[in-house]
């Protein structure tokens, strides 16, 4: 079969089956800008709400500070009588007497 000398010519817009307006580019640029703005706001507000001690801490110093704060809270609770002295448990009150166990039901023996 001989090749046909005729060729079909289609312009660029018809070949793409769409337009070249660049809408996707604008959506991506606006989305990227909004994401950058949102993360910047989160970062700046977090930095502004730190006190002076927290801004200069590393992980080890932060753990030490939290442990000291927990000890201070335990001391305050002990002074208020909410926990037993020297422990983190609540003071024990006298336990109520246990209820008597119910009597077992007698079952008839199979031989009767």
Q: Which pLDDT tens digits describe the chain residue by residue (112 residues)? A: 556 677 888 877 777 776 667 888 999 999 999 999 999 999 999 888 877 766 666 777 778 878 888 887 777 677 776 665 556 555 555 556 666 667 666 656 666 5
The alpha-helical segments, DSSP class H, found in the chain are 12-16, 23-48, 52-55, 59-79
Say if residues 84 and 90 touch (Cβ distance below 8 Å).
Answer: yes
Tokens of 75: 């001391």
What confidence score (pLDDT) does residue 30 get? 97
Cα–Cα distance, 64 to 72 (Å, whole number): 12
pTM, entire model: 0.37
What distance, in Å, lies between the first and last C-alpha atoms of the chain?
106
DSSP codes, 7-30: -----HHHHHTS----HHHHHHHH
Per-domain boundaries in the chain: 23-79
What confidence score (pLDDT) does residue 13 get? 72
């Amino acid at each position: 079969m001989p090749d046909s000398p005729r060729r079909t010519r289609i312009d660029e817009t018809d070949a793409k089956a769409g337009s070249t307006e660049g809408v996707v580019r604008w959506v991506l640029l606006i989305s990227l800008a909004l994401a950058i703005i949102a993360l910047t706001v989160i970062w700046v507000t977090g930095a502004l709400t730190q006190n002076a001690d927290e801004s200069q801490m590393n992980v080890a110093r932060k753990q030490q500070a939290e442990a000291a704060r927990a000890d201070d809270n335990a001391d305050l609770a002990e002074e208020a009588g909410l926990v037993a002295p020297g422990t983190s448990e609540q003071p024990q009150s006298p336990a109520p007497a246990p209820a008597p166990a119910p009597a077992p039901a007698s079952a008839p023996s199979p031989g009767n």
